[in-house]
Amino acid sequence: MNANEALKKLADGNRRFVDGRPTHPHQKPERRAITSSAQQPFAQVLTCSDSRVVPEILFDTGIGDIFVLRVAGNIVDDAVLGSLEYGAAHLNIPLIVVLGHTRCGAVTAAVEGADTGDHITALVESLLPAVEASRSKPGDPVENAVRANVFLETEILRQSEPTLAKLWETRAIQVVGAVYDIGTGEVEWLDLDRSTPE
């Protein structure tokens, strides 16, 4: 499967989920048996830990389909990069999706400048560039920062040396951004360079 096919598969799955007619593929014992010796997921998804944002469900996928990383604010750190590198370079997964979401608590904390004096502060600090980048934009500051964060992270992944940048430049991988609406269930694909799906 190439990146465009993977993107379409995710978009189709999200459409089924939104319409209330999911097929819950690949969740039976046979699938467990088939995938027990090796995995061959078709997409990587970096998203938030928020309990309302569940990639396997919102893309209507199953066991062995998507390689998922979840961390509050879907921020990129070295552990995330290493995981994505493994997926891209060793599992040959053609697509990376950075999936932000509406009403993100981590982004809200960053917009409000929360300083809790613990590790949450460090997490929030890594979201400040997105808050800064979207500060002058009209509209809701949290939703703007969510989008800016997805955009910035997508750029970080595309430029990440040595592995992801090389795969991106040689078009071996596609890196796209999207925002999940926790109310409607819809995934909005962001119009980024080389990332416009059907």
The three-point CA angle 79-81-84 to 5° equals 110
DSSP H or E segment with residue 174: strand 174-180
**Residue 43 vs 142, nearer CB to Zn ion:** 142
Is the CB of residue 109 less than 8 Å from the CB of residue 149? no
- Name the minimum Å distance from CB 60 to Zn ion: 21
Residue 117, both tokens: 């004096």
One-letter amino acid for residue 133 of the chain = A
CA 26 to chain centre: 21
- Taking the C-alpha atoms of residue 38 and residue 36, their distance in angstroms, rounded to an integer, is 6
Among 3, 7, 46, 50, binds Zn ion (CB under 5 A): 50
* Contacts to Zn ion from residues 93-122, by CB under 5 A: 104, 106
**Residue 53 vs 175, nearer CB to Zn ion:** 53
Q: Is 48 in the site for Zn ion (CB under 5 A)?
A: yes
- Name the minimum Å distance from CB 50 to Zn ion: 4
Q: Is 6 in the site for Zn ion (CB under 5 A)?
A: no
Region binding Zn ion by CB under 5 A among candidate stretches 44-52, 146-154, 155-163, 181-189: 44-52
One-letter amino acid for residue 20 of the chain = G
- Name the minimum Å distance from CB 3 to Zn ion: 25
- Which stretches of the chain bind Zn ion, using CB under 5 A? 48, 50, 104, 106
